[in-house]
Amino acid sequence: MSRGEMNIHSNSDQLDYYRMGVSFFKAADRCYGEKNGNTYLIIKKTEQGSEITQLAVPTVVNAAFACEMFFKALLFNTNIKFPKGRDGHNLLKLYKGLPLSIQDQISGYCFHGSTKDSFEVFLGNHANDFADIRYFIENKGFTNMSPAHMHGFALNLMQITNIIISSGGHNEQMENG
C-alpha cells in the first residue's frame, strides 16, 4: 500500500451502516459551523471583517446521507431489504419500510412534542435532500434547504438508532465517537 492510502473493511451489517452514518454526521457537524461551547458560530468576526464558517450544502448532503445510513442500519437490523438505486436515497421510503413500532419511536424522538404526521411531512419535504442538494448545481434556479433542520434531524436520528439497535440484544456496544 502506498503512502497516504488505507484499507477499509465492511461486514455489511447494521453496525457498519450505523458507523458510516456516524462518520457522515461528523462531516456534517464540521461543516455546520464552528463550535463555541454548546452553540455554533455561523458567522465569526475576523481582522478582515466577518467570515461565514458554515458550509451549507456539504452540511445538508452529509447529514442527509448520514440519515440514510441510520435508516438502512435499522432496516438491516430488522431483516428488511431496503431499496436500491435512487429510491435507496429517499429518506421517506426508507422510513416507511420500517415496522410501525420503530417508525413511532423515531418520530417521537426526532419530533418530540409533535405528531407523527408532522414528522412525516418534514421527512417528505427532505426525502431527497441527498441527491437534490448534491446535484443542485446542475439545475438552473433556486433550491430550498435547511442546514439547521437536517443537522438536528441527523443528530436525533443517530441517537435513536443507537438506542434501538443497542436495545435489540446486539452484543457489541455502539459508539457515537
pLDDT in tens, 121-144: 999 988 888 887 776 667 666 566
CA distance 23 to 18: 9
Q: For the whole model, what pTM was predicted?
A: 0.81
Q: What is the pLDDT of residue 37?
A: 65
What grid cell was written down for 5?
A: 492510502
Res. 174 pLDDT band, cuts 50 70 90 = very low
Res. 44 pLDDT band, cuts 50 70 90 = low
In single-letter form, the type of residue at position 20 comes to M
Q: What are phi and psi of 103, to 5 degrees?
A: -55, -45
Q: What is the pLDDT of residue 129?
A: 82
Quickly count: other Cβ atoms within 10 Å of residue 83's Cβ: 14
Q: What is the pairing mode between strands 39-41 and 49-52? A: unpaired
Q: Within the chain, how many helices (H) and strands (E) appear?
A: 7, 4
Most confident of 11-20, 36-45, 157-166: 157-166
